Chain A
Amino acid sequence: DQQVKQNSPSLSVQEGRISILNCDYTNSMFDYFLWYKKYPAEGPTFLISISSIKDKNEDGRFTVFLNKSAKHLSLHIVPSQPGDSAVYFCAATINTGNQFYFGTGTSLTVIP
């Protein structure tokens, strides 16, 4: 039973435009959310996170938004660059536990 869902397997965006990647979750106990970026033949690298006490967290070109009532989070990349082309995974966890739950990933292609 998938507790974290990424319903878009792929996304293409022009360089310089905004990329918006979406993620939905079902478990209302989740209180910490993360985004990872993965290039082919490499492990995922941590990108940005947000605690459930916030609704927005920003780090340079990357912003994560959390809507707890809708059980939805999104990652905005502005402006998008060709080097951002990768698979993006969202993940969620309960901070008192050890287990992380990952979505199935969205493959982002930024077209030069």
Chain B
Amino acid sequence: DVKVTQSSRYLVKRTGEKVFLECVQDMDHENMFWYRQDPGLGLRLIYFSYDVKMKEKGDIPEGYSVSREKKERFSLILESASTNQTSMYLCASSGTGANQPQHFGDGTRLSIL
């Protein structure tokens, strides 16, 4: 079974702090993704990566950056946290090739005070 592990289930930070969210997958997947989930808005893609050191902007990249130094690890960085970044953050991974579903971690509930 694919395992996607997010480092924290719950996180509370202050406005202006730099925040790191970590994600690790154990299935040697090429593709990794960061989403945020907000009520009524569903899952919105922040960034994704299709290879080590490669990254692509998703639909809402503003205020975020990412890092992928190793294939199994994909980090989301909030450069200067703001209250409107309070949300549920979900990491996912998938293989390449046809008909490959994404596999998700359990999410990080981030609160910015």
Interface residues of A (CB under 8 A from B): 6, 9, 32, 34, 36, 41-46, 49, 51, 89, 91, 95, 98-100, 102-105
Contacts and interface: CB of A to CB of B under 8 A. Distances in A.
Contact of A34 (B40, B96, B101): B101
Given A32-B98, A98-B48, A99-B58, A44 B104 contact: yes
Main SS class of interface, B: strand
A7 to B, nearest CB: 12
Nearest to B6: A43
A105 B42 contact: yes
B103 interface: yes
A100 B102 contact: yes
B50 A98 contact: yes
Contacts of A99: 45, 48, 58
A32 B105 contact: no
> What is the interface residue range for chain B against chain A?
20 to 34
Nearest to B58: A99
Q: Ordered nearest first, which 7 A-B pairs have the shortest CB separation? A: A43-B104, A104-B42, A102-B43, A46-B101, A43-B106, A95-B98, A44-B104
Contacts of A102: 35, 42-44
A95 B107 contact: no
A104 B41 contact: yes
A38 to B, nearest CB: 8
Contacts of B99: 32, 49, 51, 95
